[in-house]
Structure 1
């Protein structure tokens, strides 16, 4: 993570624009822009100063630019009162934002072939990642999917940035009829990819991880998990992840993630505390049993 750490800023809104089915807000936030690394997010207060809406909303950072001293753009869909309020912001309104938060995508030391797979608005953090990878001499191929054509994010930019860009939609209204994972294997083979980076809904990330594993290449996933605070205090965003030592721990998505090695995330157990997770009821008995079995073997 960036050693400078996050900052809390009251940021003036520069623009609010519609991007097909989404909204994109650009704010002037030089302190966040200069610290940002691809994969990190911001936590935004919604509802205004007199609002009873206490919880912030997390949004992946889609773009940063040096304009106006440093601007930050994030993407969202209107899903409730908080995001509806955000969609009504206008230029010069102030937003209370904390960021950048979370661990960024790790970048390869040497030039390699990278596939970036995104689902819906989950594709947003993959675009600054693509630029970072290109600056390191990496080949970038996009596979972007969504439910329908209006939810495939930034297809024109994807075509411009990447070597190839493949699009999928559930209803067949744009690109290939099907899911991201229906096209991912072919792209990996055609591009001779060395690594997959992905962001999107949990079920998609699970399938992307399975495809990457089947092709014998690593995968880095930025998980989408509900976050109430974004700073590691509330523990609402914990998911089970297997550590280097083989032990499953309930880790905080906002602090230990949102980027994880895909094969270490126990996707089937998300939303639960597995019996063999460190600190879970019965963990000690299970651990002691494993130790006994190894000693007997």
Structure 2
């Protein structure tokens, strides 16, 4: 059963730089104890008098019981909202709502899992790795980014994973190339049963294609722009094929962010396919 989200005013405990990224640890009781791997939070940015009205969605990297419950967020500065977050310091306050979304489904029985992360998308994979290992699963990591400073969590992955394969497009860390260049080999060597992935949409599309070749399920946490995080504004819709074979425009924030990769019509993201339920001139209920 999904946990009910709560709104809290959290206190910033620590801020730190992690290579190209910022990590923010916030005391947020109520959010922390409800969080499962794959959940995210909606964060109000800009302060009380800001013109930035919409919340920003951030995957939860880590949850700890310290101080009644803390959550850690990892992000890169992309605009005024994240720039404001990056300037926060210890003891500043932050308004956040969470946990939001549908978390990663966990296997009932021990199995072999490959965890694939692109850039800071890999931040949400470590809590998942802990949960999988608690169920007796083997985990192997594949992490990639354009350059070494944008690969997140390489050391932690090496400590946790049976194997860890790193890729960078410029060859500055690990193997030169993309995660999709090495994924087939990792799946074959590990005899993987399932793939979990989080990162840019193009990467998720490629990872899904590899999983389909091996006929194993791929669970992807999509990165879509979300304004409200609670399913009201409809900015994060994407076309997903349902159990009945019908494509529907679903909300990444409430129906996801985790989906079966082969059900997501990646090539049609950003559009309303003509055959989607309710599409103009298309299929109707």
TM-score, length-normalised on structure 2? Answer: 0.99
CA deviations 1:11-36 (Å, max 9, x no partner) are 00000100000000000011001100
Structure in which a larger fraction of residues adopt helix: 1
CA deviations 1:166-210 (Å, max 9, x no partner) are 100010000010000011000000100000000011110000000
Match of residue 133 from structure 1: 132
Pairs within 5 Å for 1:1-297 = 1-2=1-2, 4-284=3-283
Contact kept? 2:5, 2:97, Cα under 8 Å:
yes
SS in 1 for 2:253: helix
SS in 2 for 1:12: strand
Contact kept? 2:221, 2:259, Cα under 8 Å:
yes
Distance in 2 separating the partners of 1:281 and 1:20: 46
Contact kept? 2:276, 2:283, Cα under 8 Å:
no
SS in 2 for 1:144: strand
SS in 1 for 2:254: helix
SS in 2 for 1:125: helix
Q: Which consecutive unaligned segments of at least 5 residues does structure 2 have?
A: none
Distance in 1 separating the partners of 2:237 and 2:184: 30
TM-score, length-normalised on structure 1? Answer: 0.95
Distance in 2 separating the partners of 1:200 and 1:237: 16
Distance in 2 separating the partners of 1:12 and 1:266: 39
Cα distance, 1:284 vs structure 2: 3.7
Distance in 2 separating the partners of 1:186 and 1:30: 42
Distance in 2 separating the partners of 1:226 and 1:190: 35
Cα distance, 1:236 vs structure 2: 0.4
Distance in 2 separating the partners of 1:283 and 1:127: 42
**Higher Rg of the two aligned structures:** 1
CA deviations 1:210-234 (Å, max 9, x no partner) are 0000011110000000001101000
SS in 1 for 2:229: coil
Query: What RMSD in Å do the two structures reach over aligned CA positions?
Result: 1.0
Q: How many residues align?
A: 285
Q: Which consecutive unaligned segments of at least 5 residues does structure 1 have?
A: 288-297
Contact kept? 2:13, 2:26, Cα under 8 Å:
yes
